Amino acid sequence: MVKKQQKSWVYSPGKPQPATVPATLKAEVERRAQELLETVLKPKYIQPPPENPQFNYVMDIYTKWYRSYFYFIAKYRVVGPYAIAPSFESKFARLAYAGNNKFNLAYMRHTEQWADIFYDLSLDECLKSVAEDPTFSL
């Protein structure tokens, strides 16, 4: 006869709190990301609307802070007579502050889950990856 294992309480500490982003670093990230948007990403991905659109297309790209995460977001125009909404937003890159002016860089998978692919990168390395790595293409 097999005995049932008794249940017992086990200490399980919570997740560590993410590092707080200094205000000066936040401002620098916003400034540098805006520069990247205006010089690289918008000219590359935002085109004039097609005359007879058949597919959704990128109409804007912008950034946003949420807690210790910095997101790159694309706004798409929805075309077609059965569109539920005129547009939708899709986050395509996330910088998570890891402390000591370093970031973890992630992309949004098709499963709607973030996948970290680079760890402890400087801001320059993150922005270069967002601009050049095909993982972050729209």
Q: Tell whether the torsion through CA atoms of 18, 23, 25 and 30 is positive or negative.
A: positive
Asked if the model's pLDDT at residue 32 lies above 70, the reply is yes
Is the distance from CB of 121 to CB of 129 less than 8 angstroms?
yes
| Tens of pLDDT, residues 93-105 | 999 998 888 999 9
Q: What is the pTM of this model?
A: 0.82
Handedness of CA 103, 111, 135, 46 (dihedral sign): negative
